[in-house]
């Protein structure tokens, strides 16, 4: 066997060994989020805290603005994640939060701000646009190393080591915007799936307004400058 071919085979084998060892013990967990009537809930966050500490490298995330809506409406991130706020619309937006977990303001802009926002404190951050009052988004900041957000079918999927975990649940319509205990989960190497009933209330979004300023907090001049009204 030529030396060059043998060397390539040895390198390929080493790469396979590294990736195999990294995946040992990883199992798939699927959380099905439903309301009290059994209806799937989209945008519910599940977080897990286990006996094994997980080193979290510096992370980045994106909260976009598409067709005058935050996209995604619910974004889950780990503490100290840097989030960028691109504006994919052809109009200007004015993004803000008065939530205790993160207060900030991105004044009237197009495109992508040059600097991301670092979310360095766990909690719920309610986002608004001072130009388009109906735009509401949420960033759920967690210290837990494992987390995911449910899709339209109510399913959130994670890959994590086998073991025992404490589960926490959250949704924008959670009472008082507070997280809920999901109990304990024991995950084997074969993985697991579990259904969770998330306590949601219809008036939770109204109560969320206490975290946000009134629509005119920054003055009507911004709306006039944006030259954009709700259709």
> What is the per-residue pLDDT across 89-119, written as a single tens digit (0 to 9) for each?
999 999 999 999 999 999 999 999 889 999 9
From 122, 103, 196, select the one nearest 155 (Cα to Cα): 196
pLDDT at 184: 96
Domain assignment present for 28: no
Residue 32 inside a domain? The answer is no
Q: Is the dihedral of CA 47, 62, 84, 61 positive or negative?
A: positive
Q: How many CB atoms lie within 10 A of CB 111?
A: 9
Cα distances (Å, whole numbers) of residue 6 to 10, 12, 16, 72: 6, 10, 15, 48
How many domains is the chain built from?
Answer: 1
Residue at 217 is within a domain? yes
- Quote the CA–CA distance of 186 and 207 in Å, as a whole number: 35
pLDDT at position 13 is 31
9 pLDDT more than 50: no
Instruction: Classify residue 121: in a domain, yes or no.
Output: yes
User: β-pairing, 155-161 with 93-99?
Assistant: unpaired
Q: Indicate whether 16 belongs to any domain.
A: no
**Is residue 5 situated within a structural domain?**
no
Residue 60 in tokens: 């980045």
Please report whether residue 18 resides in a domain. no
Of the listed ranges 82-96, 166-180, 212-226, the least confidently predicted one is 212-226
Evaluate if residue 229 carries a pLDDT over 50.
no
Host domain of residue 82: 37-225
Task: Give the model's confidence band at 1: pLDDT under 50 very low, under 70 low, under 90 confident, else very high.
Answer: very low
pLDDT on residue 73: 96
- Give residue 114's pLDDT: 84
Separation of first and last alpha carbons in the chain: 72
| CATH of residue 68 | 2.60.40.420
Could you tell me the CA-to-CA distances from 228 to 110, 116, 131 in Å, in that order? 13, 25, 8
- Is residue 156 domain-resident? yes
């Amino acid at each position: 066997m030529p030396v060059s071919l043998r060397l390539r085979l040895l390198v390929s084998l080493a790469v396979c060994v590294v990736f195999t060892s990294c995946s040992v013990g990883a199992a798939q967990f699927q959380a099905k989020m439903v309301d009290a009537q059994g209806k799937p809930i989209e945008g519910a966050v599940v977080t897990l805290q286990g006996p094994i500490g997980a080193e979290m490298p510096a992370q980045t995330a994106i909260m976009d603005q598409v067709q005058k809506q935050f996209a995604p409406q619910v974004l889950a991130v780990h503490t100290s994640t840097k989030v960028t706020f691109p504006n994919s619309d052809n109009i200007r937006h004015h993004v803000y939060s008065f939530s205790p977990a993160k207060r900030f303001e991105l004044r009237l802009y197009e495109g992508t701000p040059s600097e991301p926002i670092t979310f360095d404190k766990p909690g719920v951050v309610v986002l608004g646009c001072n130009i388009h009052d109906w735009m509401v988004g949420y960033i759920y900041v967690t210290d837990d190393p494992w987390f995911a957000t449910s899709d339209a079918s109510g399913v959130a999927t994670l890959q994590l080591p086998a073991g025992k975990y404490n589960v926490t649940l959250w949704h924008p319509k959670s009472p008082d915007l507070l997280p809920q205990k999901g109990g304990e989960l024991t995950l084997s190497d074969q993985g697991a799936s579990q259904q969770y009933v998330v306590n949601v209330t219809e008036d939770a979004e109204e109560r969320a307004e206490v975290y946000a300023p009134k629509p005119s907090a920054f003055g009507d001049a911004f709306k006039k400058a944006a030259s954009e009204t709700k259709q």
